[in-house]
Structure 1
Amino acid sequence: MTIIETFQSRKIHFQNIAEQFQKQYNQWAVFRAILFVVVALVAYFFYEFYDFAYSLLVLLVGIALFLFSVTKHLKIKYLRDKNRVLSTLNEDEIQRLDNSFTRSETGEKFIENQHFYASDLDIFGKQSLFKLLNRTHTFDGAKTLANWLQHSADTTEILLRQKAIEELSPKIDWRQDLEASAMLIEEVSESTDKLLAWNDTLANPKINQPLFKFAKFLPYFTIPVLLAWLIGIVPIYFALALLIVHGIILKQIYDEVTLALDQTNRIAGAMKAYATLSELIVEQDFQEEKLQTLKSKIANASTAIRSLEDILNKMANRTNPFFAFVVGVPTLWDILYFTKLENWKENHRESLPVWLAVIAEFEALNSLAGYRFANPDFIQPSLINESVWLKAKALGHPMIRASKRVSNDIELVGEGKTIIITGSNMSGKSTFQRTVAINIVLALAGGVVCAESFECSPLQVFTSMRSNDSLEEGTSSFYAELKRLKQLIDEVAQEDKNTPSILYFLDEILKGTNSKDRHEGARALMLQLHKTSASGFISTHDVELGDEFDEQDFVKNYSFSSEVINDDLVFDYKLRQGVCHSFNASELMKRIGIEM
């Protein structure tokens, strides 16, 4: 069975199960309605013709049956919704195989300012590597995946991720169960920043004051007085006086409770999802070291997270005016649950960030494992312990459909080396550079790459491909490119033995100036970079630059070209050795109507 057939089969399977649960859901809805009517009629019958006690007994039995039916109905609804989500997940995988993305998340909110390569390589955006990989649903999971794509890991961590991904990849039932469990809770995508900010604050000193320590016993006196007033034993002013005292006490801590609720309320709904995710992780058997280590960190998370969810939900009841007056004031509800919330924080302050981070890391690993499963032809790259090492065969761009993808071989080994790529317009120079760079990003994140073989050393990718002018900053596109090149020069100057060598990708270098300055500037930059540990790729229309360095041992010339066949301009997108001296600009201009 092919991959697409696997996803199609699973989509239909879960869709059928969801339809079965929908039928059960409808049946139980009818049963609940009938039950309500029957209990009401029977209770009325016994009330009219027999003793009231029989009527009360019928009502109690009816309420018990009704509550059971509600519980059963909700469980069926959950199973129906989960199978619908699982069907949707497999449809999403089918679309993803064709680089069509149904989810709206672009990851752009995670992009770092002046990042070395994220914008040039389309790491984030509507058609991006992030969207191709992303199978996360929590905010922290998406943030972790984005971080992995923007910062390469060290060799040890990459190898651990590779083994973890290899183990997770075939566990499609577990992986999709993890996804679906998160998707069922809308709030799971909310940022946890406020929750973690609350978690970092010290315990509120007020809650330990004698007033609040003793106040929690006051409802044991007040509530009996209220009941006594209701049955006419004590006058109303006794009850009112006690409620006023309660109000004064609650006023002392109102602002603190409101702030805590503001920091935690939006994420409260997600706690159920985090608890379920932690349970799924703990219940699964793992063999690889990284997965076992992560699992051990979250062993006791589920119960504590569910406890936090319960506290937050009960605290949120205070926002209902009726509840606040009828229950909140008489029971000193805010003090009771604010105390529980503060105690929870003290008991789990150090654990909460760890739990959230572990769940996030599992989601990121799941994303790369799902990517590996969906692309069985892609390979796990080999890491080489050298300064600059890149060897790849049949290297293709993962964002280009397999039917249109053209693959090429490339090799770059050693510090201070440059590959110059010349070629005609639209021949594939820029795409090739992005192909090499994005596969390195994937490899150093721990993912599989689009190649027949791929070896690379730990490298710091740096690109200068899209230099746009800025009206706000008053800069031209040429000056924007110069600023980018200065960033490269500064980074190279700061390199030390403890950081990876820079591998740069410079597209149409210095295109915004005249040919003489472009040539001299590119030549000077290449010679300057040659003296450093950095190596990289430069694409250019400057044939003379390639010719000038053709005999230099630190430079290799490659090219792309096009040809006219039967009056059609044809590109084969194949990389060739040597400088390209055949260009197509005149032909392209003729085709749009410029008389040459």
Structure 2
Amino acid sequence: MSPQQTFQNRQDTFQNLADNFQKQYNQWAIFRAILFLATIAVSYATNLFWGGNYVIPVVIIGISVFLFSVSKHLKIKYLRDKNRALTRLNEDELKRLENIFTRAETGEQFAESNHFYSSDLDIFGKQSIFKLLNRTHTFTGSAMLAEWLKFPATKSEILVRQEMVAELSSKIDFRQNLEASALLIEEVAEPTHKLFQWSNSPENEEIKKPIFQYGKYLPYLTIPLILAWAFDFLPIGYPLVMLVIHGFIGKQIYETVSNALEQTLRLTGALKAYASLSETVVNEPFTHPQLLQLQSELSEASPAIKALEDILNKLGNRANPFFMFIVGIPTLWDIQYFIKLENWKRQHRDNLSKWLLIIAQFETLNSFAGLHFANPDFVKPEISDDSIALKVTSLGHPMIRKMKRITNSIEIEGEGKTVIITGSNMSGKSTFQRTVGVNIVLALAGSVVCAEAFTCSCMQIFTSMRTQDSLEEDTSSFYAELKRLKTLIQAINSKQLAVNSYQLPIFYFLDEILKGTNSKDRHDGAKALMLQLHKTRASGFISTHDVELGDEFEKQGFVENYSFSSEVVNGDLVFDYKLRAGVCHSFNASLLMKGIGIEM
């Protein structure tokens, strides 16, 4: 069964289930209303015919049945909402197959203005690789997906990710249940940095003072005194004195509790989502050792996170003045639950960030697994041990629909190598470079790629493709490109670009190199740069209209020439977007200018 048929069948199934649960929901709503009215009527009739002594059992039975109906009603609501969420997920997957993205998240909050490639390769944005992949719902999951796309992994990490993605790809029920669990909670995407700040902060020393550690037992004396006064056993003075003492003690810790809540309270909904997600992961059978290890580390997460959520919810009750007056002061509520909060932090502080990151990892792996499942013709890339190696067969851009996708094959191996791509305007030079770059990014993140065969080594991608002028920085487009090329040279010479102490070679994509200057300077500058890059641990692609550059390096062993071209058919320009060996000497600018009315 094709992915499209699978998603369509699942969408229909879950929609039918959601409709059925909606009918049950409506029926139970009517039943609850009837039950409420019936309890009142039966109680009245009982009192009228048999007397007040029989009313209490009737009311107790009525309330018990009513509470059961409420529980049942809420369970049906949950099942209805979950099936609605699963329906939306499959509808979203169907639209993804057509490159229509319904989710609002673009990942642009994770973009970096001077990143080596993310802007040029559309890693983030409205029509981006992030949107194609993203099946995360927590903030931490989205951030991890962005990190995996921005920074290449080591070979060992890539191979493990590939294996985990392959296993998760077939687990469509688990993957969609994971997403649905998150979708049911509105606050799931709340940023968690304040929670991390709180959990990593030192233990609160103030709450350890004797006034609080011993004072927390005062309610065991105060509450009986209040009850004794209520039943006229004691004058009001005794409990009032105790309440004043409570108020004095509570004031000492009020600001401290407020600060802790400011960091954590907004995240109670998100914590509920994390608890639900961890429970979904823990209950799934896995076979891959790394998935089993992550699952084991998450085994205690759900009850612990639920306990934290409960503590924060109860501490949050202090915001209600009526509650604080009636319950908060007599029970020293702030102290009781702040101590519990600090005890929770002491016990789980080292695990909380780990748990949230494990959940984020499952979400990120799910994103890659979703791409894998939806595109069964995509392949798992081979990761070469060579310094620089790229060999691709029938490579296409994953953001272009299959029926419109044009694929190409190419190979480049060794350091100091350059592929010059010449060709006419609009023939596909830029798209081809982006196609290669995007697939390398996916491969080095652990994903499948859009090709029949794909081999690459671990490399640092660098692009200079969309440099433009800036009024704010008083920068021309030519100078902006020079700044970008300077960054490339600095990166090649840097000792910082390393993964596990291994210096990554640079693989560059330079589009329409030095286009902002005259032809002679452009030629001389491009030639000098290529000769300089040849002496480094860098290889890559340069596209240009400068055919002389290609001709001049035709016989150089470190340069290969490829091209795209167009042809005129019945007076119209036709592009096949196929890569050919050699320099392109036919251009179409004059025909394009004639086409818009310029008399040539």
TM-score by length of 2: 0.98
| Matched-pair contact (CA < 8 Å) for 2:492–2:538 | yes
Equivalences for residues 411-490 of structure 1 within 5 A = 411-490=411-490
Q: Find out whether 1:564 has 2:568 as its counterpart.
A: yes
**Offset at residue 228 of structure 1 (A):** 2.9
User: Secondary structure at the residue paired with 1:349?
Assistant: helix
Find the aligned partners of 1:339 and 1:15 in 2 and give their Cα distance: 46
Does the Cα contact within 8 Å between 1:160 and 1:289 map onto a contact in 2? Answer: no
Could you tell me which residue of structure 1 aligns to residue 595 of structure 2?
Answer: 591
> Measured at CA, do residues 7 and 114 of structure 1 come closer, stay the same or move farther in structure 2, by a change above 3 Å?
same
CA deviations on 1:562-584 (whole Å, 9 max, x unpaired) are 11101111110000111111111
Aligned to 2:155: 155
Match of 1:386 in 2: 386
| 2:76 is the counterpart of 1:72 | no
Match in the other structure for 1:307: 307
What letter corresponds to residue 531 of structure 2 in structure 1?
L
326-335 vs 482-491, which deviates more? 326-335
Residue of structure 2 in register with 1:318 after alignment = 318
Displacement, 1:128? Answer: 0.2
State the partner residue of 1:208. 208
Return the letter of the residue paired with 2:164.
A
Among residues 527, 534, 538, which one is paired with 2:542 in the alignment? 538
Query: Given the superposition, is the C-alpha separation of residues 41 and 235 from structure 1 closer, same or farther in structure 2, using an over 3 Å criterion?
Result: farther
Q: Aligned ranges for residues 548-563 of structure 1 at < 5 Å?
A: 548-563=552-567
Equivalence map 1:64-103=2 (5 Å): 64-103=64-103
Separation in structure 2 between the aligned mates of residue 231 and residue 466 of structure 1, nearest angstrom: 81
- 1:119-138 alignment, distance < 5 Å: 119-138=119-138
Distance 1:251 1:170 in 2: 57
Residue deviations 1:38-62 (CA, integer Å, cap 9, x gap): 1122223333444433222222222
- Give the whole-Å Cα distance in 2 for the aligned partners of 1:107 and 1:468: 22
- Which structure 1 segments of 5+ residues have no match? none
- Aligned partner of 2:503 in structure 1 is 499
For residue 139 of structure 1, what is the amino acid of its counterpart? Answer: F
Question: Which of 508, 516, 521 in structure 2 is aligned with 1:517?
Answer: 521
- How big is the shift at 1:234? 3.1
Whole-angstrom CA distance in 2 between matches of 1:166 and 1:396: 21
Shift of 1:244: 2.3
Tell me, yes or no, if the aligned pair for 1:107 and 1:130 is still in contact at 8 Å.
Answer: yes
The one-letter amino acid of 2:60's match is: L
Residue of structure 1 equivalent to 2:577: 573
Kindly provide the CA deviation profile for residues 264-316 of structure 1, in whole angstroms up to 9, marking residues without a partner as x.
11111122221121122112121112212211211211111111111111111
Q: Give deviations 1:90-130, integer Å, cap 9, x for gaps.
A: 00000000110000000011113411000000000000000
Q: Equivalents in 2 of 1:51, 1:499: separation in Å?
A: 90
Mapped to 1, the partners of 2:151 and 2:62 lie a distance apart of: 61
Superposition RMSD in Å: 1.2
**How far apart, in 1, do the equivalents of 2:68 and 2:550 lie?**
79
> 1:206: how far off?
1.5
Matched to 2:557, the amino acid is: D
Kept after mapping to 2: 8 A contact 1:169/1:370: yes
Give the drift of 1:549.
0.4
Q: How many Å separate the matches in 2 of 1:165 and 1:204?
A: 42
The CA deviation at 1:343 is 0.2
SS of residue matched to 2:508: strand
| Structure 2 residue aligned with 1:288 | 288
Deviation per residue, 1:334-367 (Å, 9 max, x gap): 1111110100000001011110110000100011
Give the match's secondary structure for 1:570: strand
Report the CA distance between 1:403 and its aligned residue. Answer: 1.1
Structure 1 residues 47 and 214: alpha-carbon distance in aligned structure 2, compared to 1, 3 A threshold: farther
Say if 2:167 is the partner of 1:171.
no
**CA-to-partner distance for each residue in 1:130-164, whole Å, 9 max, x for gaps?**
00000011111111111000011000010000010
Letter in 2 for 1:246: H
Letter in 2 for 1:519: H
CA distance in 1, matches of 2:548, 2:585: 10
AA in 2 matched with 1:366: N
Distance 1:568 1:109 in 2: 43
Give the share of equivalent positions with the same residue, in percent. Answer: 64
Counterpart-to-counterpart distance in 1, 2:361 and 2:380 = 20
Aligned residue in 1 for 2:16:
16
One-letter code of the match for 1:370? Answer: G
TM-superposed CA distance for 1:428, in Å, is: 0.3
Of residues 554-563 and 291-300 in structure 1, the stretch that sits farther from structure 2 once superposed is 291-300
Contact 1:161–1:290 (8 Å) recurs in 2: no
Cα deviation, residue 178, structure 1: 0.6
Q: Report the Cα distance in structure 2 between the residues aligned to 1:499 and 1:293, rounded to whole angstroms.
A: 30
1:173 counterpart letter in structure 2: D
**Partner Cα distance (1:552, 1:356) in 2:** 53
1 CA distance for matches of 2:52 and 2:39?
14
Aligned-partner residue type, residue 8 of structure 2: Q
Deviation at 1:76, TM superposition (A): 0.6
Structure 1: distance between partners of 2:551 and 2:177:
58
Equivalent positions of 1:21-32 (< 5 A) are 21-32=21-32
Name the amino acid aligned to 1:588. L
> Secondary structure of 2:32's partner?
helix
Q: 2:303 & 2:596 partners in 1: Cα distance?
A: 68
Q: Which residue of 1 aligns with 2:190?
A: 190
Q: Distance in 1 between matches of 2:132 and 2:503?
A: 29
- Structure 1 segments, 4+ long, off by >6 Å, are none
On the 8 A contact 2:393/2:452 being kept in 1, the answer is yes
Between 82-91 and 285-294, report the one with greater CA deviation: 285-294
d(CA) in 1 for partners of 2:572, 2:434: 27
Q: Is the 8 A contact 2:113 2:119 kept in 1?
A: no
Gaps of 5+ in 2: none
- Amino acid paired to 2:163: K
Return closer, same or farther for 1:5/1:271 CA change in 2, 3 Å cut-off.
Answer: same
Q: Point out the more displaced range, 456-465 or 320-329.
A: 320-329
Q: Deviations over 1:486-535 (max 9, x none)?
A: 00000111258822210000000111111111111100000000000100
Distance 1:164 1:464 in 2: 33
Is the deviation greater in 129-138 or in 491-500? 491-500
- Alpha-carbon distance, 1:391 to partner: 0.3
Distance in structure 2 (CA, Å) of the matches to 1:40 and 1:203 = 54
Distance apart, 1:231 and its partner CA:
3.3
Deviations 1:439-496 (A, max 9, x none): 0000000000000100111111000001021111111111111111000000111258
Partner of 2:339: 339
Residue 114 of structure 1 corresponds to 114
Question: Deviation digits for residues 352-411 of structure 1, max 9, x if unmatched?
Answer: 111011000010001100100000000000111000100001000000111111000011
Distance 1:53 1:347 in 2: 52
Deviates more, 1:212-221 or 1:415-424: 212-221
Using the alignment, how far apart are the partners of 1:36 and 1:238 within structure 2?
43
The separation in 1 between residues aligned to 2:355 and 2:222, in whole angstroms, is 41
**Separation of aligned partners in 1, 2:207 and 2:158:** 47
AA at the equivalent of 1:230 = A
In the alignment, which residue of structure 1 is the partner of 2:35? Answer: 35
Q: How many residues align?
A: 596
Structure 2 letter corresponding to 1:524: A
- The letter of the residue matching 1:368 is F
